[in-house]
Amino acid sequence: MLIDSTLREGAQAYGVYFGTGAKRRVAELLAAAGVEEMECGWVGQEGLEEFLAWAAEALPGVEAGGPALSLWCPCREAEVRQAAALAEAGLIARVNIGAPSSAAHREKRLGLSRPEMAARVRVVVGAARSLGLEYVSVGLEDISRADADEALDLALAAVGAGAARVRLSDTVGLLTPSGAAALVGRFVAALPVPVALHAHNDMGMATANAVTALEHGAAFADVSALGLGERAGIAALEQVAAWANLRQGAGYDLLVLRALCLLVGQGAKVPVARNRPVVGEDIFAAESGIHVHGLLRDPALFEPFSPETVGASRRVGVGAKSGCAAVAQALTRLRQPREAAADSGLLERVRALASRLGRPLTDSEILTVL
């Protein structure tokens, strides 16, 4: 279901350089989390063969529940030959070929007409298959700005030449969920092979588009830890995985994915926001009265999953937004006499001190206002 591209798309992000140790740890965590496919990099990448040799030896194989290892390469025979050599050595199982589908990308990048682009796809995919690459995935780049009929014709050309999957790449993140649903639905209905979506986050909708694609027939969605990637990145692995667990019964290990995100954030020098979905430090912290009251009755009223699922902990703050329930809970935790909670002015004093400090109170500060 998930194609993780932390080591390809994520590694292409501006200023991001994963060392050998970090790359290996990322791969180990992805395998432990249950991600189905790992896009390990791109053909010609420095140190790639050494990494793949390590991965083939150290990670569980697909038959043991490990990820299928794949590479990205452009739509050129020379790079496909390099990928085929790696496959023949048992280092990869899949190759992901990028092919421009919009007229702008096709003409300005490659100088090709529509028939010439289709011919190149047929030749390159055919060459890949003849060289022994059994699983060839073709990514239709810039799909959101392509003519849909032309893009579908290109997909059919790829499938006719032996492609096992078609990946729709929203290169500049222009799709909306409704657009993703329509696009994916059309390709799923027309193609005899699985469809994937590679959604960029330029408009902040990559994760929503990835989830929508999976809801509307896509067999795969591309993701990366923290959504790391070119420009604003792509769909966030941890968020799509959490949704898949809760809504589709998937079995991704979110505890492992939280550790992965913290590792990637550190390695990429990308701070993890305290309120970031799934992995943020404060997503199980509450201060407002109605929220705390509900949590004390039943945490599931205001939490989609338990903190333990991602290795986090629940925190109830006592501050300017608190109500009586939060104050009473704090007094019980601090082993204060029950009569203390009956003090009619206590809540007002708590709120006044927190307002003056501009934050929730510490335990010692709560005790000072009793």
* Digit-coded pLDDT (tens) for 132-188: 999 999 999 999 999 999 999 999 999 999 999 999 999 999 999 999 999 999 999
Tell me which residue has tokens 């949590």.
295
In tens, the pLDDT along 311-356 reads 999 888 888 888 888 888 888 888 888 667 667 788 889 999 989 9
Annotation: CATH topology of 2-268: TIM Barrel (3.20.20)
Q: Which residues contact 287 (CB under 8 A, 6 or more apart)?
A: 316, 317, 318, 319, 321, 322, 326, 360
As to burial, measured by CB atoms within 10 angstroms (0-12 exposed, 13-18 middle, 19+ buried), residue 163 is: buried
In tens, the pLDDT along 8-35 reads 999 999 999 999 999 999 999 999 999 9
CA dihedral for 214, 148, 108, 204, sign (positive or negative): negative
In tens, the pLDDT along 106-142 reads 999 999 999 999 999 999 999 999 999 999 999 999 9
pTM of the model: 0.93
Coil, helix or strand for 296? helix
pLDDT of residue 341: 67
In tens, the pLDDT along 206-264 reads 999 999 999 999 999 999 999 999 999 999 999 999 999 999 999 999 999 999 999 99
User: Does the pLDDT at position 197 exceed 80?
Assistant: yes
What is the C-alpha to C-alpha distance for residues 325 and 329, in angstroms, rounded to an integer?
A: 6
Domain ranges of the chain: 2-268, 285-368
CB 293 within 8 A of CB 323: yes
pLDDT of residue 289: 76
Coil, helix or strand for 162? coil
Beta bridge pairs of residue 322: none
Min mean pLDDT across 63-72, 187-196, 213-222, 289-298 is at 289-298
CB 292 within 8 A of CB 350: no
Tell me which residue has tokens 């939280």.
258
User: Does the pLDDT at position 93 exceed 90?
Assistant: yes
